[in-house]
Amino acid sequence: MDGVVGTGVSIEPGGCTGPVFRIASRLDAERISAIRSHEHVVLVFGPNASAADVTASLDALTPQPVAAIVLTTTEELADFQGLIDADRLFYLACGELSQRDLDALVESALASKPPNVSLDLFLGMGNLRRMALAQSVPELADALRAAVTKAAGAERTRCVLFDSERQVLWIPNESESESTAVGLVSFILRTGVTICLPRLGEDARFDLDLDDPDGEASDRFLGVPVRASGAVMAVLVAIRPADEPPFEPLDIAAMEAVAAHASPYIAAWLGEPADDGPFRQRALREHEQPYSVGPEPLRLEPAWTQRATWFAIATFVALLVAFVALKGWLQ
């Protein structure tokens, strides 16, 4: 029957740091509830586990991250190929393992590791293209909101930007100036900490006008920082109403993957301009122009052209002197 793996590293649920569940067949509702009470668990299926039972159990727990160790038979081995290809198994063994070997696998599975944050899983090509081709800050903000909607399955999203010159928060096409002294968004900006709340109104940092102006205090909240040029320059927010499921660890991983991908774009549009590049300011100005204007030829700044002129003259004089010296030496 279902039970606890006999390891020294964990016990099923309630008494230890990393719960390990032994699953003889499919999970029932009671066991699913127990597993969901933990952030990360190890499931040991078998012996003689079938691919159908393992798949059904993992599907029932989606999107919670679990490490699945499967002990099966030679006859069933080929049926697990789909789960292996989808990277849903931690380890697959044909037959029983010794307690020592099983303990080693469990300890490895319990070792902290980040959830799967592959951009291919959370961001489609359309979202990536919109970010890359954004022609203005509002367009980039809209692209990021669309990416967050897909990644976290949110009903409403926000992209709150930080104006380092004015030291205020602002939301494109919505608000030009918000204080950085109140609200969860401000807290994320100040600390760089991701915040996930099952109910907004129960948190002392919550400010309705900034954090969820179109929602309710009962809404579910997930906010992640976007770091650029060594500082937090934006905050991405996902909101769900109270009648929808709370955000899970996989949602947090998805949001942080979007934020990581957004970082270079945020840096390009909101970061400090470089003083030593001859093309940067012209290039950025061209980005801000509408499509109908057409591309502007890149030109060197006057300071660079003046230096180039003096450099050309100096080079010509040096060559002339060298030529005269060479001619005198040959004579």
Instruction: Cis check for the bond before 246: say yes or no (omega within 30 of 0).
Output: no
Amino acid identity, position 88:
R
Nearest to 152 by CA among 122, 127, 131: 122
pLDDT, tens digit only, all 331 positions of the chain: 344 433 333 333 333 345 888 888 777 788 888 888 877 788 898 888 888 888 888 888 877 778 889 898 888 888 888 888 777 888 888 888 888 888 888 888 777 554 444 445 566 677 778 888 888 898 999 999 998 988 888 889 999 999 888 888 989 888 888 888 888 999 999 988 899 999 988 888 888 888 988 888 899 999 999 998 788 999 999 999 999 988 888 888 888 888 988 888 898 888 755 444 444 444 454 444 544 444 444 444 455 455 666 777 778 788 877 777 776 766 6
Note whether 161 and 170 are within 8 A (CB). Answer: yes
Note whether 200 and 238 are within 8 A (CB). Answer: no
Give the count of beta carbons closer than 10 Å to the beta carbon of residue 198: 15
Q: 113-127: per-residue pLDDT in tens?
A: 544 444 455 666 777
Angle at 71 between CA 67 and CA 72, to 5 degrees: 130
Amino acid identity, position 212:
D
The Cα-based distances of 108 to 1, 11, 71, 330 in angstroms read 25, 16, 16, 79
Give the count of beta carbons closer than 10 Å to the beta carbon of residue 105: 19
Q: 258-312: per-residue pLDDT in tens?
A: 898 888 889 888 875 544 444 444 445 444 454 444 444 444 445 545 566 677 7
3-state helix/strand/coil string of 47-109: CCCCHHHHHHHHHHHCCCCEEEEEEECCCCHHHHHHHHHCCCCCEEEECCCCHHHHHHHHHHH
Amino acid identity, position 195:
I
Amino acid identity, position 213:
P
Q: 151-166: per-residue pLDDT in tens?
A: 888 889 999 999 888 8
Query: For residues 118 and 120, what is the distance between their CA atoms, to the nearest angstrom?
Result: 5
Answer whether 0.75 is exceeded by the pTM: no
Q: DSSP for 259-318?
A: HHHHHHHHHHHHSPPPSS-SSHHHHHHHHHS-GGG-PPPP---HHHHHHHHHHHHHHHHH
Length, in residues, of the chain:
331
Beta sheet of 91-94, edge-to-edge order: 3-4, 20-23, 41-45, 66-72, 91-94
* Cβ-based neighbours of 120, under 8 Å, separated by 6 or more: none
Q: Which pLDDT does position 302 carry in this prediction?
A: 52
